[in-house]
Structure 1
Amino acid sequence: MFNNIGVSGLIIILIIALVIFGPSKLPQLGRAFGDTLREFRSSTKGVVDEITSDVKGENESASEKK
Structure 2
Amino acid sequence: MFGLSELALILLVVAAVLVVKKLPELTRSAGKATRILKGEARALKEQDGPDDARPGPGRVVPGTVVGRGDPPARS
The alignment's TM-score, normalised by the length of structure 1, stands at 0.48
Structure showing the higher helix proportion among its residues: 1
Higher relative contact order (CA 8 A, sep 6+): 1
The alignment's TM-score, normalised by the length of structure 2, stands at 0.43
